[in-house]
């Protein structure tokens, strides 16, 4: 069995003390991030990514992934206790989780959401292990036209599934692509748009841009508005769910896992949309939909499982194709590149230790999260009331030092400040930053593949339509554009996609 | 039924995209454009500039409507200016005066609004963060800046 052999290899790497340590640090930091209001996974990864530069590649990725899925796991705690989502994708958990807490049933709500997350995590890590090798093999057949099409699809999908009008979000993506052209042109060695700054010869670093957009702009935006006072409602008396809770929850957890697992694969959808879809599904299937919003446990179990399932399968496009499905995955991809690992399907064949070590560590991390979240939930709840005014100075200091460490020079701190001002303007205009970051990371990939594709086809643009895979990917992008430009389908306002 | 700007945010975003796209298009004229087969360094940025101008124009059109304009939200600008000042201060001081001074100036601006109401708290944040940063980044990671 190939799979067993690979998993054995992975566990051999993940179970070494040092990697267990990285996994534990990642999962703990992730839980912290998920619990603290005002910190979301993307900000946490931006902030801590520079600290992983010095770690070995596998350790760095294990830790960053731990932060990511740990935050998704724990985001529901804030939603249930404070009626405030710890990260965007647990928004929907507020609807029924918080009424449960007010009714004195915070314990069962927390327990069911932790069990649901654990189950979804275990299943979806298995999905990653099962589906990545065949997908990566298929992706080895990808050539320049297919990559061009895949990048276009990823950008269109992330833009179209955001809450704003498509022209604005696509505009953000193209702005990101343009920022990505800053620096030396790889084919001719000519410096483009560097405005005489030698430091820009290698391009604008994505960490500096992410710090500007997700830390500086976000902090300034929050501080400019009214201060939300965290207030913990209800006490946690007894964690254990009743037999009736379990009976009502296991089917929603299964359905949520399936839904989230599938949605996580598609670029742009990710955890946020999956949790909303699962909530809608459970409400529809329920015999008594009027209980939803009043503290129905199914409304916690399903979306929480879906959210976590999607958080895991979200990794698959990034790991097998080198095309991130969202802004957080774009940062992970950047972390890989910093470690000197070129993204793409060859990761599985050339760095099997990294891939399988990561997959195995996700299982271990999931188990750690169950332990971290259930018996220790009291500690986390005490952290919920930490006011934002104590958090943002820490974020700023970590970000400034982190940006310095990119090139051991202060220059990119100034870049981050500029991007912070730009990000603030866009934030005030409700323009989501995620498409911009994705565009920035994918810009050089897109230009390189577009050039190569058209060079081989002698400038014939039909090459993208004549090849079946690239035609299919582009067709999907067109469908998304058409569907999301129709006003009737955009009636309901959704939250912005950040994951 | 008079046509007017009913979505000011879309209108401003559209104008911004038009300006950025136009600048990129103009800027890429400095480089060799080339053909689709043999793209010069200006080809890709020029296409992006055109595309962004198109999207900007579309956003502007979408901003027009017959509904009255959405009300502008009130949000204080001071926090942005203070935080930017703090970050720029950090940028200027880190190589010249060391990590502790840089953190001091960063927090001086970024926490300016709590300085009068909670001076002890801000001082405590500074002491803890400075000690942590020196211990972790200089002593631990050996990053190339001085503490003082």
What residues of B are in contact with residue A414 (Cβ under 8 Å)?
Answer: 88, 91
Instruction: Report residue A498's pLDDT band, with 50, 70 and 90 as the boundaries.
Output: very low
How much is the average pLDDT of A66-85?
85
How much is the average pLDDT of B13-38?
92
Signed CA dihedral, A448, A454, A456, A459: sign only: negative
DSSP-derived secondary structure letter, B67: S
Q: Is the Cβ of A413 closer than 8 Å to some Cβ of chain B?
A: yes
pLDDT score at A360: 93
More confident residue, A357 or A104: A357
Q: How far is A117 from chain B (nearest CA, A)?
A: 33
Which one of B14, B60, B72, B80 would you mutate to disrupt binding with A, by most A Cβ within 10 Å of its Cβ?
A: B80
* Residue among B9, B27, B125 whose CB faces A193 most closely: B27
Whole-angstrom Cα distance, residue A174 to residue A446? 11
Q: Do B88 and A417 touch (CB under 8 A)?
A: yes
Tokens linked to B124: 């405590």
* Residue among B9, B49, B103 whose CB faces A397 most closely: B103
How much is the average pLDDT of A273-292?
87
Q: Is the Cβ of A226 closer than 8 Å to some Cβ of chain B?
A: no
Signed CA dihedral, A405, A406, A412, A417: sign only: negative
Domain-embedded: residue B73: no
Interaxial angle between packed helices A388-407 and A41-48, expressed in degrees from 0 to 180 and rounded to the nearest 10: 40
Say if residue B11 is in the same domain as residue B55: yes
Domain-embedded: residue A142: yes
Whole-angstrom Cα distance, residue A464 to residue A461? 6
Range of the domain at A110: 2-487
Say if residue B44 is in the same domain as residue B84: no
Please state, rounded to an integer, the average pLDDT across all residues of chain B: 91
* Residue among B13, B37, B45 whose CB faces A455 most closely: B37
Domain-embedded: residue A253: yes
Residue of B nearest to A55 (CA): B141
Q: Do A178 and B20 touch (CB under 8 A)?
A: yes
- For A:57-86, CB contacts with B below 8 A are none
Say if residue B53 is in the same domain as residue B92: no
Whole-angstrom Cα distance, residue B48 to residue B51? 5
A475 neighbors A17 (Cβ within 8 angstroms): no
> Has residue A495 got a pLDDT over 70?
no
Q: Is the Cβ of A190 closer than 8 Å to some Cβ of chain B?
A: yes
Q: Where a domain ends, among B14, B40, B65?
A: B65
Q: Do A224 and B37 touch (CB under 8 A)?
A: no
* Residue among A175, A413, A458 whose CB faces B90 most closely: A413
Q: Measure CA A233 to chain center.
A: 29
What residues of A are in contact with residue B129 (Cβ under 8 Å)?
Answer: 393-394, 397
Domain-embedded: residue A498: no
- For A:321-380, CB contacts with B below 8 A are none
Q: Is the Cβ of A289 closer than 8 Å to some Cβ of chain B?
A: no
B19 neighbors A131 (Cβ within 8 angstroms): no
Domain-embedded: residue A497: no
Signed CA dihedral, A11, A17, A19, A23: sign only: positive
Say if residue B105 is in the same domain as residue B127: yes
Residue of B nearest to A449 (CA): B44
pLDDT score at A107: 87
B33 to A292, B36, B46: CA distances (angstroms): 59, 9, 8
Instruction: Report residue A1's pLDDT band, with 50, 70 and 90 as the boundaries.
Output: low
Kind of pairing between the strands at B64-65 and B4-5: antiparallel
A47 neighbors A416 (Cβ within 8 angstroms): no
> Has residue A100 got a pLDDT over 80?
yes
For B46, residues 6+ apart whose C-beta sits below 8 A from its C-beta are B24, B25, B28, B29, B33
> Has residue A497 got a pLDDT over 70?
no
Q: How far is B38 from chain A (nearest CA, A)?
A: 6
- Lowest-confidence range among A1-10, A216-225, A441-450, B128-137? A1-10
* Residue among A170, A219, A454 whose CB faces B83 most closely: A219
Residue of A nearest to B38 (CA): A455
Domain-embedded: residue B145: no
Say if residue B49 is in the same domain as residue B91: no
Instruction: Report residue A229's pLDDT band, with 50, 70 and 90 as the boundaries.
Output: low
Tell me the CB-side half-sphere exposure of residue A312, using CA atoms within 13 A: 35
Signed CA dihedral, B86, B89, B91, B96: sign only: negative
Domain-embedded: residue A368: yes
Domain-embedded: residue A216: yes
What residues of A are in contact with residue B16 (Cβ under 8 Å)?
Answer: 425, 429
B43 to A140, A149, A192, A197, A456: CA distances (angstroms): 28, 18, 12, 22, 17
Number of domains in chain A: 1
A26 neighbors A63 (Cβ within 8 angstroms): yes
Tokens linked to A271: 């955890």
Q: How far is B148 from chain A (nearest CA, A)?
A: 15
> Has residue B18 got a pLDDT over 90?
yes
User: Which ranges of A2-105 would DSSP assign to H, the alpha helix?
Assistant: 2-14, 17-35, 41-48, 57-82, 93-102
pLDDT score at A269: 67
pLDDT score at A17: 93
User: Which ranges of chain B would DSSP assign to H, the alpha helix?
Assistant: 8-28, 43-63, 78-97, 99-110, 112-115, 119-133
pLDDT score at A231: 67
- Residue pointed to by tokens 């001081």: B93
> Has residue A491 got a pLDDT over 50?
no
Instruction: Report residue A366's pLDDT band, with 50, 70 and 90 as the boundaries.
Output: very high
Domain-embedded: residue B108: yes
Range of the domain at B39: 4-65
Q: Do B52 and A174 touch (CB under 8 A)?
A: yes
Tokens linked to A68: 């990511």
Whose CA is closest to A323, among A210, A448, A438, A433?
A438
* Residue among A393, A410, A413 whose CB faces B111 most closely: A393
Other CB atoms within 10 A of residue A5 CB: 10
Domain-embedded: residue A492: no
What residues of A are in contact with residue B39 (Cβ under 8 Å)?
Answer: 187, 450-451, 454-455
Tokens linked to A475: 């067709």
Helix (H) or strand (E) holding A319: helix A315-321
B67 neighbors B6 (Cβ within 8 angstroms): yes
> Has residue A305 got a pLDDT over 90?
yes
Say if residue B94 is in the same domain as residue B51: no
Instruction: Report residue A490's pLDDT band, with 50, 70 and 90 as the boundaries.
Output: very low
How much is the average pLDDT of A61-82?
88
B27-82 confidence digits (pLDDT tens)? 999 888 888 888 889 999 999 999 999 999 999 998 888 777 777 777 888 999 99
Which one of A51, A164, A182, A396 would you mutate to disrupt binding with B, by most B Cβ within 10 Å of its Cβ?
A: A396
Which one of A167, A173, A213, A414 would you mutate to disrupt binding with B, by most B Cβ within 10 Å of its Cβ?
A: A167
How much is the average pLDDT of B129-139?
92
Whole-angstrom Cα distance, residue A112 to residue A305? 10
What residues of A are in contact with residue B83 (Cβ under 8 Å)?
Answer: 216, 219-220, 223, 396, 420
DSSP string, A413-447: HHHHHHHHHHHHHHHHTT--SHHHHHHHHHHHHHH
Predicted structure pTM score: 0.90
DSSP-derived secondary structure letter, A119: H
Residue of B nearest to A176 (CA): B48
Q: How far is B2 from chain A (nearest CA, A)?
A: 21
* Residue among B27, B41, B133 whose CB faces A401 most closely: B133
Number of domains in chain B: 2
For A156, residues 6+ apart whose C-beta sits below 8 A from its C-beta are A170, A173, A477, A480, A481
Say if residue B57 is in the same domain as residue B9: yes
> Has residue A466 got a pLDDT over 70?
yes
Which one of A162, A178, A188, A386 would you mutate to disrupt binding with B, by most B Cβ within 10 Å of its Cβ?
A: A178
For B7, residues 6+ apart whose C-beta sits below 8 A from its C-beta are B62, B63, B65, B69, B70
> Has residue A103 got a pLDDT over 70?
yes
Whose CA is closest to A150, among A313, A375, A325?
A325
How much is the average pLDDT of A221-241?
73
Say if residue B83 is in the same domain as residue B60: no
Other CB atoms within 10 A of residue A336 CB: 23
Domain-embedded: residue B18: yes
A115-146 confidence digits (pLDDT tens)? 999 999 999 999 999 989 888 888 888 889 99
How far apart, in Å, do the first and last CA atoms of chain A sit?
35
Domain-embedded: residue B47: yes
Q: How far is A463 from chain B (nearest CA, A)?
A: 12
3-class state of residue A493 by DSSP: coil
A347 neighbors A128 (Cβ within 8 angstroms): no
- For A:132-171, CB contacts with B below 8 A are 165, 167-168, 170-171
> Has residue A492 got a pLDDT over 60?
no
Q: Do B83 and A220 touch (CB under 8 A)?
A: yes
Residue of B nearest to A165 (CA): B59
- Lowest-confidence range among A188-192, A238-242, A261-265, A367-371? A238-242
Domain-embedded: residue B70: no
How much is the average pLDDT of A412-439?
93
Say if residue B55 is in the same domain as residue B107: no
3-class state of residue B53 by DSSP: helix
DSSP-derived secondary structure letter, B138: I
Task: Name the β-bridge partners of A192.
Answer: A183
């Amino acid at each position: 069995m190939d799979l067993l052999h690979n998993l054995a290899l992975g566990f051999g790497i993940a179970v070494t003390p040092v990697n267990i340590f990285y996994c534990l640090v990642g999962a703990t930091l992730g839980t912290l991030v998920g619990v603290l209001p005002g910190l979301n996974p993307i900000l946490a990864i931006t902030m801590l990514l520079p600290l992983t530069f010095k770690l070995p590649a596998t350790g760095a990725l294990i830790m960053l992934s731990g932060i990511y899925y740990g935050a998704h796991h724990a985001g529901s705690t804030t939603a249930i206790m404070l009626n405030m989502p710890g990260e965007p994708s647990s928004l929907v958990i507020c609807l029924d989780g918080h009424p449960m807490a007010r009714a004195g049933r915070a314990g069962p709500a927390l327990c069911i959401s932790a069990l649901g997350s654990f189950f979804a995590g275990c299943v979806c890590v298995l999905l990653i292990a099962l589906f990545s090798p065949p997908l990566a093999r298929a992706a080895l057949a990808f050539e320049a036209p297919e990559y061009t099409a895949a990048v276009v699809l990823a950008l269109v999908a992330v833009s179209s599934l955001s809450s704003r009008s498509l022209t604005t979000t696509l505009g953000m993506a193209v702005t990101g692509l343009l920022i990505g052209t800053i620096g030396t042109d790889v084919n001719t060695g000519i410096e483009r748009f560097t405005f005489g700054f030698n430091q820009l010869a290698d391009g604008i670093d994505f960490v500096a841009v992410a710090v500007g957009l997700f830390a500086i702009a976000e902090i300034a935006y929050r501080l400019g508005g009214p201060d939300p006072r965290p207030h913990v409602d209800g006490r946690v008396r007894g964690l254990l769910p009743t037999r009736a809770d379990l009976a009502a929850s296991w089917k929603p957890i299964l359905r949520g896992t399936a839904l989230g697992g599938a949605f996580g694969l598609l670029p742009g959808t990710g955890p946020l949309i999956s949790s909303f879809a699962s909530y809608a599904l459970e409400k529809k299937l329920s015999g008594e939909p009027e209980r939803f919003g009043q503290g129905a446990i199914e409304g916690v179990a399903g979306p929480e499982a879906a959210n976590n399932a999607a958080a895991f399968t979200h990794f698959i496009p990034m790991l097998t194709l080198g095309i991130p499905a969202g802004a957080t995955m774009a940062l992970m991809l950047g972390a890989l590149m910093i470690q000197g690992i070129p993204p793409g399907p060859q990761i599985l064949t050339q760095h099997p230790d990294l891939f399988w070590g990561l997959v195995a560590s996700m299982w271990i991390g999931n188990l750690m999260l169950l332990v971290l979240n259930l018996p220790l939930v009291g500690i986390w709840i005490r952290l919920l009331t930490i006011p934002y005014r104590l958090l943002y100075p820490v974020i700023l200091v970590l970000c400034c030092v982190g940006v310095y460490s990119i090139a051991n020079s202060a220059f990119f701190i100034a870049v981050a400040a500029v991007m912070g001002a730009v990000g603030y303007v866009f934030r005030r205009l409700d323009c989501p930053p995620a498409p911009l970051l994705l565009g920035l990371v994918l810009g050089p990939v897109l230009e390189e593949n577009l050039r190569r594709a058209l060079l081989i086809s002698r400038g014939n643009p039909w090459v993208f339509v004549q090849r079946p895979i690239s035609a299919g990917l582009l067709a999907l992008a067109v469908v998304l554009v058409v569907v999301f430009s129709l006003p009737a389908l955009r009636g309901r306002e959704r939250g912005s996609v950040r994951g | 039924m008079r046509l007017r700007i009913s979505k000011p945010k879309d209108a401003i975003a559209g104008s911004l995209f038009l300006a950025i796209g136009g600048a990129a298009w103009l800027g890429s004229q400095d480089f060799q454009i080339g053909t689709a087969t043999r793209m010069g360094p200006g080809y890709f940025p020029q296409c992006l500039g055109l595309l962004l101008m198109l999207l900007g124009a579309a956003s502007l059109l979408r901003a027009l409507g017959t509904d009255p304009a959405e009300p502008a939200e009130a949000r204080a600008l001071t926090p942005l200016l203070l935080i930017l000042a703090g970050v720029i201060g950090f940028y200027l001081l880190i190589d010249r005066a060391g990590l502790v001074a840089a953190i001091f100036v960063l927090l001086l601006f970024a926490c300016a609004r709590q300085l009068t109401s909670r001076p002890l708290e801000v001082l405590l944040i500074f002491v803890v963060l400075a000690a942590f940063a020196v211990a972790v980044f200089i002593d631990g990671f050996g990053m190339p800046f001085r503490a003082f």
